[in-house]
Amino acid sequence: MALRWATLDSAKVLDLNHKIGSLTPGKQADIILIRTEDINLFPVHDPVETVVFQANPSNVDTVWVAGRPVKQGGNLLYKDLPRKQGQLLASGRRIIRDAGLPLWGSD
């Protein structure tokens, strides 16, 4: 039931079920492959329950977004990943600073 809520039902509520929500020719294909041999998932008795209740981001092996691979073998496939990480770091620091919160490790 949870898988249906997260896929088909969510797409329908967003009125996007003509584009997303199921693996159907012509729809946007976002697919995640999870390593089921990881200790927190093994052995798998019910695949859906295992993913919903036990899986976490560290179990994600491969991801396709809109039919394009963005993660494979547990590694992100972004070009110039260090630059993107720098942008994320700068963005996070700006958000914390603008919220008036102290940055970790700063005086």
> What pLDDT is stored for residue 4 in this prediction?
87
Rounded CA-CA distance 95/11 in Å is 31
22 closest CA partner among 30, 32, 13, 14? 30
Which tens digit of pLDDT belongs to each residue from 6-63?
A: 889 999 999 999 999 998 999 998 899 999 999 999 999 999 899 989 999 999 999 9
Query: Residue 18 pairs with which residues in a beta bridge?
Result: none
